[in-house]
Amino acid sequence: MARPKPETFDKQKTVAENRRARFDYAVEDKFEAGLALQGTEVKALRAGEASIAESYAEIRDGQAWLINANIPEYSHGNRLNHEPRRPRKLLLHAREIQRLLGAVERKGMTLIPLSIYFNRTGRAKVELGLAKGRQSQDKREYIKDRDWQRDKARLMRERG
């Protein structure tokens, strides 16, 4: 019998977060994927240097790839330092890849990385969001709802 997956991911140390993605996209589902890294990339991530603001994920030849994520070169690395913007393989189960591929092809959704973090065992993970792009009208509604939630919380605090 399979172990039940936890509702939230086990984030110990968040390295990079794509805050703009939650505004530009309506995230419908989240996935946790491992990240295949080379040599000094792990040390650069542990130093807290990464950017996923302009990155996305795609499925090619039955494998998931993280494209355009920037992990800068490690400062104390040698001539074998890694390339900062190389495509990185995402480690997902075959069933998850098929599910993501179906959603991207049929429903017109996109795969966006929401955050890169280290879990409790020290493994680098990527939180992927299966999302649909928001139009400008949707963004205005999102801003209005967010402001109302903030004002409502403020009123509740003041009233006790």
Task: Say what the pTM is.
Answer: 0.80
Task: Supply the pLDDT for residue 96.
Answer: 93
CATH of domain 13-134: 2.40.280.10
Cα gap 146→144, rounded to integer Å: 6
Domain map of the chain by residue range? 13-134
Per-residue pLDDT, 60: 93
Q: What is the mean pLDDT of residues 86-96?
A: 94
pLDDT tops 80 at residue 77: no
Q: How crowded is residue 122: how many other Cβ atoms within 10 Å of its Cβ?
A: 10
Contact 109, 131 (CB under 8 A): yes
